[in-house]
Structure 1
Amino acid sequence: MTSLNSRRFLSLSGARWILVVGDANADLGAALTHFPREGHDHPLQALTWDSGGSGANVATALGLFGGGVRLLARVGSDPAAEVALRAARAARVDLSFVQRDEAVATGLCFAAVSPGGERTFFSHRGANACLALPEVDGLLDGVGWIHVAGHALLEGVQRETTLTLMAEAHRRGIPMSLDLCLPLLAAHPDTLTVDQGSGRLTVLFANEPELQAVTGEHHADLVEEGWLDRALAVTTAAGIPLVAAKLGARGSLIAGLEGDRQTIPPFPVDARDTTGSGDAYVAAFLFALLTGAPASTAGLLGNAAGAFVATRPGAASALPDRETLFAFADHTKPHDAPDAPDAPHRGSR
């Protein structure tokens, strides 16, 4: 497996803009001693405010890595808006296309974090769902890559805006990536069909529950059911060249159109809070890919970023800058590649 030497990576500072389309939320994080049953009165160990939302998180991380990043999102005209955008602003993300809604509140996510680091979200999308179509020429001026966070395709005006932007980006030859989310697949199970525009994508990101949902099946024993084979068959049929499957503590798996698969080893950590880990993976993967690294190296850097964030509380505030991420990766070292689902494919190229 390729090592992560920061000197091998070019800076994104001279590259074209990366446009991130997605949600910006104020996150209210709560540390639990255990996950309560319905109807119980359960005290919290800690309560924190943080910037959040997949769009804002990915944009913030890319900004911390040194990229020229532009965020398209919508917040309210309330104090929560400043919380939602605080981390992105500190990371020097271009917020000139972030919209302010005078009538609808900023999106809010309550993240309940169990002792093992697993998070459960209770979300109000708020102004995110009202994202209007901006002046497209100005928005796409200098843009060399577009990343879409899955919630941007979920509903309402925001969905129509995002679909229009994706169609225009495809017309202009701008490559795109999409990070799936379970609500999107529940509301629009045809998301990964060519007629819905998935054939315009260059990279698809998804975690295990999302890939399982792609098959339309729900099984207790995922390995024996061969769910990953079926999920990747769907992405291949949709013409998506590269799929990055986020496998959590087992690392990730990179799959291509020709059936190539590479299992990428994880970085061992004691997870404290996995909120934002998937977004960190996406940002690090894109950073590596856009600086010319192969997909396997991008997956390894993504694994390192996701693992680092899992060791810290919060979402955007847990994201590392470039130097911190490479120092962590060098110090922690990845495990040897573990067995992934459908193990016969492990290590194939």
Structure 2
Amino acid sequence: MSAAEHDVLVLGGAGVDTIVYVPRLPLPYADSYMIGSGIETRAGQTGDFVALGLSALGLRTHHLDMVGDDGPGDLVREFHRKHGIGLTALPLQAGTKRAVNLVGPDGRRLSLYDSTRADADGRVPEATVRGLAGASRHVHVSITQPWASALPLLRESGATVSTDLHNWDGTDGYHEAFAFDADIVFLSATALADPEATMHRIAEHGRARAVVATAGAEGARLLADGELTHVPAVEPPGPVVDSNGAGDAFAAAFLFGLLSGEPLPVCARYGAVAGAFACTVPATRAECIGRDELLRRAPRGVADLPAV
């Protein structure tokens, strides 16, 4: 075990989501809908759920982000207290980040993000970032503002860095800064015209040791050491009810494997198992796969993945 105070510092991605289960997606226009499953607002955006997934797997996790002094901010702070995750919450005048997630019967989601709840001027608390990153083995950076400005500081810390580009289209320059300055890059293949070409471009122009593109039920692609392999999807342990948080769970389990010294194909297998588990958990419930169940469902010997 490293002498570092934290295994992982999660940077950014704190906020609240309002979850609405709708009869179908896309949702046809109507004057109104009756939502029998209820409408619930809870803490938990990408950084929160990566932190939760890491903590559930036994990693010492700390979360740093800007959070408003408001009701949603109270939900974020309580989320971390409840789950025993350290949180450094810096003031955000615009208010805590929030989104509305529409979830269809098949578990697919449509997220509506409130872009007014962001500090876009690029200011980061340099001393705080340096201190926390320097006390961590690894830093996972969310692409939420203003954390792009922290990337040079993370390099100084000596910690390895990962990021999740989510549904990047492969061209947007804001995401590119994260893609080219991380050791491990996660992204969704959803909006990519040519996922493999984008993955190779990230590896060639950046510093990534591994690039992972997830594609839901089609599995994922792993690019490592110049070799592209396919990571098969894993059968979920129950009915698929919600895809919210599946990518965050994948990233957390992959990083668990990485920090445990596992080969990258095993890390990817861990990610696939955790992502499948997340799809069986309603987004209104904060629950991630634990270490024992992950290791039971993904034995360490599973390292051979088919080439693409």
Alignment TM-score > 0.5, same fold: yes
> Which residue of 215, 220, 234 corresponds with 1:252?
220
Cα deviation, residue 181, structure 1: 2.9
Alignment of 1:1-349 (within 5 A): 16-35=6-25, 36-46=27-37, 47-95=39-87, 97-101=88-92, 103-125=93-115, 127-129=117-119, 132-134=123-125, 135=127, 136-152=129-145, 158=146, 162-182=147-167, 188-189=172-173, 191-192=175-176, 196=177, 198-210=179-191, 212=192, 217=193, 227-239=194-206, 240-258=208-226, 260-269=227-236, 270-314=239-283, 317-326=286-295, 329=297, 347-348=306-307
Q: Are the structure 2 counterparts of residues 137 and 312 from structure 1 closer, same or farther at C-alpha, using a change threshold of 3 Å? A: closer
Greater fraction of residues in helix: 1
The alignment's C-alpha RMSD in Å is 2.9
Counterpart-to-counterpart distance in 2, 1:28 and 1:198: 29
Cα deviation, residue 200, structure 1: 3.0
- The DSSP-based 3-state class of the residue aligned with 1:313 is coil
Cα deviation, residue 77, structure 1: 1.1
CA deviation vs aligned residue, 1:119-176 (integer Å, no higher than 9, x gap) = 1111224544368522244232312211112234xxxxx1xxx233211221333211
Contact 1:198 1:238 in 2 (8 A): no
Q: Are the structure 2 counterparts of residues 14 and 138 from structure 1 closer, same or farther at C-alpha, using a change threshold of 3 Å? A: closer
Give TM-score scaled by structure 1 length. Answer: 0.76
Residue 166 of structure 2 aligns with an amino acid whose one-letter code is: C
Counterpart-to-counterpart distance in 1, 2:133 and 2:149: 12
Counterpart-to-counterpart distance in 1, 2:216 and 2:73: 30
Residue 73 of structure 2 aligns with an amino acid whose one-letter code is: A
Cα deviation, residue 284, structure 1: 0.7
Contact 1:32 1:45 in 2 (8 A): no
Between stretches 122-131 and 16-25, larger displacement belongs to: 122-131
CA deviation vs aligned residue, 1:207-244 (integer Å, no higher than 9, x gap) = 1124x1xxxx4xxxxxxxxx233222321321322111
Between stretches 263-272 and 125-134, larger displacement belongs to: 125-134
Q: Are the structure 2 counterparts of residues 125 and 81 from structure 1 closer, same or farther at C-alpha, using a change threshold of 3 Å? A: farther
- The DSSP-based 3-state class of the residue aligned with 2:286 is helix
Counterpart-to-counterpart distance in 1, 2:220 and 2:3: 27
Give TM-score scaled by structure 2 length. Answer: 0.85
Cα deviation, residue 191, structure 1: 3.8
Contact 2:189 2:213 in 1 (8 A): yes
Q: Are the structure 2 counterparts of residues 180 and 315 from structure 1 closer, same or farther at C-alpha, using a change threshold of 3 Å? A: farther
Counterpart-to-counterpart distance in 2, 1:121 and 1:266: 23
- The DSSP-based 3-state class of the residue aligned with 2:229 is strand
Between stretches 34-43 and 276-285, larger displacement belongs to: 34-43
Counterpart-to-counterpart distance in 1, 2:218 and 2:269: 12
Cα deviation, residue 248, structure 1: 0.8
Counterpart-to-counterpart distance in 1, 2:211 and 2:168: 19
Cα deviation, residue 13, structure 1: 10
Contact 2:165 2:179 in 1 (8 A): no
CA deviation vs aligned residue, 1:283-310 (integer Å, no higher than 9, x gap) = 1110111111111111111111111110
Contact 1:15 1:67 in 2 (8 A): no
